[in-house]
Each structure stands twice: as C-alpha cells, then as structure tokens.
Amino acid sequence: GEQDHLVEAVKIESPKQFSILDCTLGLASDSIIMTYAYPEARITGLEAALPLWYITKYGLQHFVHDNKEVTNALRRIEAIHGNYIDYLAQADNDSFEVDYFDPMFEVPVEESPQFKPLRGHTVESHIDDIIMSQAMCVARYGVIIKERPFSSVFQKYPPHQLVGGKYSRIGYGVYMKELM
C-alpha cells in the first residue's frame, strides 16, 4: 500500500490497460511489482542469460506465494529467452505501450548484495542511440530506464521526468514519445 517509484513512473506513461516490454527481466522483481500494481497489464520480459532466464521462467510458472494475488501476478509475466537488441530490431512499431530497461548499474549499489553472485553471469549491455531509437519505435507511449541518478545514461539522455526523489539511490528516467 505504500508508494513505489517504479509504479509511479509507469503511471505517468500508461493507460489503465497496457503492455510492458521488460527488456532486462533478470529475476523479474520489477515485472512482479508492475503486474501486481497493474493487474490488467500484460508484461513480456526478455532475459539474454540462459541460466537466469530458465530459473526466472520456472519460478514465475511454479512458485506459490501465501498471497494468491502475488501468485497470480507471477503467472501473468511471459518470460522470453532473448536479448533486447535483437528483439527491438525486429519488433513492430507500437508493439507495447512502454519499454522498460533495468541494466546492471554502472556503479553498483553496495547495499544490494543479492546481485553480487549474478555479476559475471548476466549479459551486460548499455543503452545507446540505436537502442533508444528502436525502443521509442516499439513503444506506443515511451521508455523507462532504471539507473543511478548520476549515471551516464541520464547525462547522455536527460529524461523528461526523473522519478525517485532527490535523495534516492536509484531513479526511473521517463522518456515520453510525444515529447521526442
């Protein structure tokens, strides 16, 4: 019931019923938050690292939470093995309302040790002009990027809105297609 910065960032760009392409699914924690907060949302997640994709896909399909709404949220996420570079290049324009990126942070959050074992087993990539352009074509409303507020991504591509509070360790850059 508390405010969540990711949920607020999605709210800026999306109507009540919408679809999200999570380009960096990982363990699906952000997709789980989005589909829990927006039960009408259709979420497709891409994960390039085969072992991580398999574990995440299995968990989304089989894990049963004490709260039935959480279990239902898990089942509404489609996990696809593939990388966003190839996927965006072949996807139709306006295929999703929002494209979401949560790349591994340039400067890791040291207080988040759960990701240390994953480093080296993930497919790390960076947002560049081509990716940003393709993501905007695939998205009907826009793109959201999760990164540290001082990151080079936000320096190179200043967001239309940065959700996350002045003192937050992470920010959600909201890029609205209508303003591009």
pLDDT at residue 15, rounded to an integer = 67
Q: What pTM value is reported for the model?
A: 0.89
Structure tokens at 139: 């998205």
d(CA 178, CA 174): 12
The series of mean pLDDT values per 10 residues for the chain, 180 residues long, is 85 78 95 93 95 96 96 97 96 96 65 54 77 96 92 93 83 89
Burial class for 1, CB neighbours closer than 10 Å (0-12, 13-18, 19+): exposed
d(CA 108, CA 151): 11
Helical segments of 23-107, H only: 29-37, 50-62, 68-75, 84-90
pLDDT digits (tens, 9 = 90+) for 73-119: 999 999 999 999 999 999 999 999 999 999 875 555 555 555 555 55
* Positive or negative: CA dihedral 121, 127, 128, 129: positive
Q: Any idea which residue has 């309302």 for tokens?
A: 97
pLDDT at residue 115, rounded to an integer = 53
pLDDT at residue 163, rounded to an integer = 95
Structure tokens at 1: 């019931």
Query: What angle do the packed helices 50-62 and 68-75 form, to 10 degrees?
Result: 140
